[in-house]
Amino acid sequence: MAASGSFSAGSVLGSNLYGSNAECNWEIQPSVPNAVITLTFNSFATEYVYDHVQVYDGSRLIGQYSGFNNPGTLTATSGSMTVIFDTDGSVEHGGFTAQYTVTQGSGAVNPINSLYPEPANSVVVPQQQLPVVTIPGVPSACQQIQRLTSTRGSFSSGSTYIDNANCRWLINAGAGAQVQLQFRRFEMEDFYDWVWVYDGPNDSAPLAGKYSGSSLPPVMTATSGMMFVKLTSDSSIHLGGFDAFYSVMSAEEANSRRIQPSP
């Protein structure tokens, strides 16, 4: 027999829905090398395009899934499998249920060292802070939201972005503050790979602009106190990506500039 287990997000057949703005990671790590992990989705229902399940075989992305088409059975042969589920700020569905088995070439049974963060059949809690799973070779922003809180700084997709990417950066300047964003380098596959910029905390906020190709986007300003940047790509042809610089104007400074003294 093989070691096995199950986990879920929401309750596809019940009344429980997964939460908004969820960031959930499950890591299956058998205790011996050369393990084969088989993952089967028994049910699957997420908001198409906006709520994603990503499955990794070690650092290699097997696939990214959303909507109501069941991904079926997936296999990892690297000795580890990571499942990442992230959602936007609106429209929740029933989620998914999945079960896994672990076998070895000899058929030996080996326990699972860790499977987290949620017990089976639990409901994902919005904004819950969950353990971070680091996948070698995959940028951290493409695993979960990278939060930027300095008054100025830079971020990048790296020298080249990955296929099937869903990378996210959140600049949190605070209430009343403004965020200015400027791209220094920009190279995305035209029409297929995009960078989205939102004036707010997530991709449900007002869209400031979406950009593809090799022309530098204009300088953009978010007045909500937050700016959300997202990079998405298809399954082929990944180019150089981007480098971006941001700066924050405090609420006091922004207010003083709005109120000009009378002549």
pLDDT in tens, the chain (263 residues): 358 888 888 754 445 678 788 788 888 888 877 889 999 998 888 887 778 898 998 888 888 888 878 888 999 998 889 999 888 877 777 888 899 999 886 543 333 333 333 333 323 333 333 344 445 556 777 777 888 988 999 999 888 888 878 889 999 998 889 999 999 999 999 999 999 999 999 888 999 999 999 999 999 999 999 999 999 888 888 899 999 999 998 877 767 665 455 45
Per-residue pLDDT, 120: 32
Q: Where in the chain is the domain with CATH 2.60.120.290?
A: 3-104, 140-255
Spell out the residues 6+ positions from residue 230 whose beta carbon is closer than 8 angstroms to its own.
166, 167, 168, 169, 195, 196, 198, 203
Q: Is the pTM of the predicted complex or chain greater than 0.95?
A: no
pLDDT score recorded for residue 105: 60
CATH ID of 3-104, from 2.60.40.10, 2.40.10.10, 3.40.190.10, 2.60.120.290: 2.60.120.290
**Parallel, antiparallel or unpaired: strands 35-45 and 95-104:** antiparallel
Strands 73-76 and 35-45: antiparallel
Cβ atoms of residues 46 and 124 within 8 Å: no
> Which of the following CATH numbers is that of domain 140-255: 2.60.120.290, 1.10.3720.10, 3.40.50.720, 3.30.930.10?
2.60.120.290
